[in-house]
Amino acid sequence: RFENITMAPPDPILGVSEAFKADTHEMKLNLGVGAYRTEDLQPYVLNVVKKAENLMLERGDNKEYLPIEGLAAFNKVTAELLFGTDNQIILQKKKRKSVIDVCVFCSLKVATIQGLSGTGSLRLAAALIERYFPGAKVLISSPTWGNHKNIFNDARVQWSEYRYYDPNTVGLDFNGMIADIKAAPDGSFILLHGCAHNPTGIDPTPEQWEIIADVIQEKNHIPFFDVAYQGFASGSLDTDASSVRLFAARGMELLVAQSYSKNLGLYAERIGAINVVCSTADAATRVKSQLKRLARPMYSNPPVHGARIVANVVGNPELFSEWKDEMEMMAGRIKSVRQKLYSSLCTKEKTGKDWSFILKQIGMFSFTGLNKAQSDNMTNKWHVYMTKDGRISLAGLSSAKCEYLADAIIDSYHN
């Protein structure tokens, strides 16, 4: 009976916002959840989103069900954004002999279906792994975004961790990462953050990505990319997709979950996609049919609003270019508070501690290296809300509050 159900613990990320709301201190800062805020610390709706919504209203778009795989115009542009507009790296070129001539035709080797943002797309991929790769293991980075473990646990997919973060350098433990990927059973799925690794903000260099791809290929593993920050990390959609494209260009089979929560600010619209790159177009058709079969009893078909926004923004050259400007603006604001926080820390720190790791990290987050007790001090004494692993979301920081945050960090470090 329901009487026997015990209380679930609060979510380690979303629970932080609940605690923040209850705090009445004037200097309080919410650096917990990864959501972009303006310099006034207000949520931001992109201008291109408002324009796309106006277009949709003018056209009088209806609210009929979408097909199980989602909006066709969205699925097309989302794969193009990821793999490049000409899709060269995921095209299968076949020669067909007809009576008249030999013609070359191309078909896509990727199965793309719309998902319920990044989370739902990852969940669908997990269900595909559970059904078609029984016993296969997913390797996730240590640490990783907290929800990855929940997703694989609920999908009943086994996972283990590969080394990623080195606390001594507050950098990448590249040798540990490579050794663990090598040691995994052949044919494992290797979950990789396409760019702006969450929570550390530490990404492999292009040379390191090549070596990671070599090892994954040698071991017959399947790369599984989580791309939640395309365009948001560097400000460029192409730069942020370069890791995925490097793997795809090698002709590898791979999975990519995409999200438009951050780069288009569509957090609550739940818009994203799962892309499965196969070795042939025929296999992609079969995989797509199975993804639809998995989606049907879970949620039947995905929501249309966010999909139309993305399709309208990307499909309209003017809006597309305006989106890129707004993305650069958001990424730029985060970079500027990162720089200001670093300068404030250097000015205020009296022990000569090296804070340069903060500048090396990219994306929305900074991994401060603060432990749980120190993170508790940040919240209890300074009213700075953050996750207990020492991660702060710079997207929730204003330039005006950098000095205050630097005081809090230094006090907590030496606590």
Residue 5's contacts (CB-CB under 8 Å, 6 or more residues apart) are none
Look up 226 and say whether it is catalytic: yes
Give the x-and-dash track for 220-259 against ligand PMP (CB under 6 A): ------x-x------------------------------x
Tokens of 296: 């049907």
Task: Confirm whether 86 is a catalytic residue.
Answer: no
- The torsion angle over the Cα atoms of residues 290, 294, 299 and 300, rounded to 10 degrees, is 40
Catalytic residue among 51, 262, 335, 340: 262
- Residue 215: Cβ-neighbour burial (10 angstroms; 0-12, 13-18, 19+): middle
Q: How far is the CB of 267 from ligand PMP (least distance, A)?
A: 6
193 or 401: CB nearest ligand PMP: 193
Using DSSP, state whether 162 is helix, strand or coil.
strand
Question: Hey, which residues does 110 pair with through a beta bridge?
Answer: 277
- Which C-beta is closer to ligand PMP: that of 259 or that of 312? 259
| Minimum separation from the CB atom of position 120 to ligand PMP (A) | 7
**Minimum distance of ligand PMP from residue 200's CB (angstroms):** 11
Residue whose CB is less far from ligand PMP, 14 or 373: 14
Write each residue from 90 to 119 as x if it is in contact with ligand PMP (CB under 6 A), else as -, in one continuous string: ---------------------------xxx
- Which residue from 364, 294, 264 is spatially nearest to 120, judged by alpha carbons? 294
- Which of 193, 288, 308, 338 is in the footprint of ligand PMP by CB under 6 A? 193
Q: Known catalytic residue: 145?
A: yes
Phi–psi pair at 51, nearest 5 degrees: -65, -45
State which of positions 143-182 bind ligand PMP (CB under 6 A). Answer: 145
Which residues are the active-site residues? 145, 226, 262
Residues binding ligand PMP (CB under 6 A): 34, 117-119, 145, 193, 198, 226, 228, 259, 261, 267, 272
